A and B are shown apart, each in its own frame.
Chain A
Amino acid sequence: MTGAQIAARAATQTTVIPRRSGSERAREGAFRVLMYGAVGLAFVALAGILADALADGLPVLSWDFLTRFPSRILPDRAGIESAIVGTIYLMVICAVLVVPLGVATAVYLEEYADRDRWWNRLVEINIQNLAAVPSVVYGILGLAFIVRGPLSLGNVLLAGGITLALLVLPVVIIVAREAIRAVPPSIREGALALGATQWQTIWKQVLPGSIAGIATGAILALSRAIGETAPLLVIGAAASPRFNPDGLDSQFTALPIQIFVWTQDPNRAFVERAAGAIIVLMAILLLMNSVAIWLRNRYEQKW
């Protein structure tokens, strides 16, 4: 059609571009109501859940609260020092175990393993399955093998650290693999073409290039580990101990456990202290997440 013909036709029609039908607009409108409602409800609920703990727990926070030991009888004298210390020790033990192991596994799978071999594929599938196993099952593993059974360490700090390390190992492996994979093959080729060996290439080029991603992922994995309650319950973390763990072979508690115990106490004052402990736990997690994000933004390698 020529321009003149189009213009002529347009002149005779009242609308060139049809408006959408009423029913279609009604549907769109109804959906929007539904959608905004859903988003609103989700937002309100999640915000409410956090606000509830905040409201209950804020009045309880004080320096004394952070530096006293828990009491089973007097809520006014109860504090979470043993829980904080236990959580931090668990995090350190977990990190020391899981980061080298996870990164080493990731390096092997990405740089050395021949994908065609069945045992390497088995390892990969296995890791994906391990990531899907509920945390309580890792608790059972800890109970059967580490607390009792072959290792028989008892329900001590080291047992808790090992259990948590095994729990987040699949996550660290997956995250480290992604970080390593992000290093372009051209870097490896460049290094190898200069006469570097495979390990030299990995140690001097690949790992330094992926360290930011690995660190970020590891911190996020650790923050997941210290928020876990179920595995520690199963392996027998202590409730309200009036001492800090004095070694790897000491009984221990952690913030999630202390929160768990106090939440169920009939005395409302202890319930409020549970909320206080929740705030402290969330603060630690928020701090770790912020560090992880800061690390990523500052040191992430853009190729």
Chain B
Amino acid sequence: MPERVTEKDPEAVRAPAGDLERKARADALERPATVTAPADAAEAIFAVEDVHVFYGAHRAVRDVRLDLYKHHITALIGPSGCGKSTFIRCLNRMNDLIPSARVEGSIVYHGQDLYARDIDPVQVRKRIGMVFQKPNPFPKSIYDNIAFGPKVVGMKGDMDEIVERALRRAALWDEVKDRLKTNAFGMSGGQQQRLCIARALATEPDVLLMDEPCSALDPISTGRIEDLMLELKRDYSIVIVTHNMQQAARVSDFTAFFTVELDPEARHRTGAVVEYAPTEKLFTNPADKRTEDYVTGKFG
């Protein structure tokens, strides 16, 4: 089983993974029966090394070193302002949209450096999809929302089928199949977010990035989306930013805890990864005191 070489660094623990360990974890956490342990060894799809993100002269995130694994859910947690959203947006080159943003270090996706000169961000985003904090459906029909992605990336195939497949994957098909041509703005918040998930899935990505996808939703919708995530990880790899620790504990396999450091002179806040471990370990037996303080609610 492939394993990364790690330095013994108490600050940042990279997560090794083994079959036995995972099964033990699953038993210990009493996971719902629908979740199955991965059949193959955990394969890393992202290798993130020494990543720093700057906005102009201000460093927003420093020293990120972690791997993200295929068909698993990785949660990024931490107090507000710790750079988790900034970091996740690096994974699909969305930080390119901010003129002053600069990414240093290497983010390797399936063997390719995402920030190499000849990489086309548009191609990257076809493979790595994103769902945002506030549902942002287009002011068009449900059908046109889903069809937009496949159309612009030039997917071949029967559009009706593509739309149905995406809606089924997002567990939305039965609810909307009779009103595909109605405007998406007429849907409830939870439905809109599932629409955005379906929209992201329509282009058949590899990875789904979710930036606090439930923070604008009510608890019932949140629960449905969490169930959806657990189903989706069979076919996709998911990275989720959440400020809800219980959510991270419920759905994720691995969790990275970010903290925010205040630079007294420059009055900047910089985020950094404190600990990265399998979720069960991070929550029940964290290695770092800061992590322990956060997950037990002492701060944040």
Q: What is A's interface to B at a CB cutoff of 8 Å?
A: 114, 116, 184, 186-187, 189-197, 200, 204-205, 209, 301, 303
Q: Which residue of B lies closest to A203 (CB)?
A: B152
Contacts of A191 in B (CB 8 A): 138, 148, 152
Interface-side segment among B4-12, B104-112, B120-128, B265-273:
B120-128
Nearest CB of chain B from residue A176's CB, rounded to whole Å: 18
Across the interface, do B94 and A189 meet the contact criterion of CB distance under 8 Å?
yes
CB within 8 Å for A209 and B94 given contacts A114-B99, A186-B132, A195-B153? no
Interface string of B190-227 (1 = CB under 8 A from A): 00000010011001000000000000000000000000
CB within 8 Å for A205 and B123 given contacts A194-B149, A194-B153? no
Q: Which residue of A lies closest to B124 (CB)?
A: A195
Per the bound structure, the CA–CA distance linking A45 and B210 in Å amounts to 62
Per the bound structure, the CA–CA distance linking A205 and B149 in Å amounts to 12
CB within 8 Å for A189 and B122 given contacts A194-B203, A204-B148, A204-B152? no
Across the interface, do A195 and B149 meet the contact criterion of CB distance under 8 Å?
yes
Residues facing A in B141-200 (CB within 8 A) are: 148-149, 152-153, 196, 199-200
Interface size band for B = 20 to 34
Per the bound structure, the CA–CA distance linking A197 and B153 in Å amounts to 9
Interface residue? B129 (CB, 8 A) = yes
Contacts of A209 in B (CB 8 A): 139
Interface residue? B136 (CB, 8 A) = yes
Max chain A CB contacts within 10 Å: which of B125, B132, B134?
B125
Per the bound structure, the CA–CA distance linking A81 and B285 in Å amounts to 89
Per the bound structure, the CA–CA distance linking A286 and B202 in Å amounts to 48
Q: Which residue of B lies closest to A303 (CB)?
A: B139
Across the interface, do B136 and A195 meet the contact criterion of CB distance under 8 Å?
no
Nearest CB of chain B from residue A188's CB, rounded to whole Å: 8
Nearest CB of chain B from residue A117's CB, rounded to whole Å: 10
Interface residue? B97 (CB, 8 A) = yes
Across the interface, do A189 and B149 meet the contact criterion of CB distance under 8 Å?
no
User: In the complex, given contacts A192-B125, A193-B94, A194-B152, what are 11 additional A-B residue pairs having Cβ atoms less than 8 angstroms apart?
Assistant: A184-B136, A186-B136, A190-B137, A190-B199, A191-B148, A192-B94, A193-B200, A195-B122, A195-B123, A195-B149, A195-B152
Nearest CB of chain B from residue A298's CB, rounded to whole Å: 14
Picked from A187, A197, A200, the residue with its CB within 8 Å of the CB of B138 is A187
Across the interface, do A194 and B99 meet the contact criterion of CB distance under 8 Å?
no
Per the bound structure, the CA–CA distance linking A301 and B196 in Å amounts to 20
Per the bound structure, the CA–CA distance linking A190 and B152 in Å amounts to 13
Per the bound structure, the CA–CA distance linking A192 and B126 in Å amounts to 9
Across the interface, do B92 and A186 meet the contact criterion of CB distance under 8 Å?
no
Per the bound structure, the CA–CA distance linking A108 and B258 in Å amounts to 39
Nearest CB of chain A from residue B125's CB, rounded to whole Å: 4
Across the interface, do B138 and A196 meet the contact criterion of CB distance under 8 Å?
no
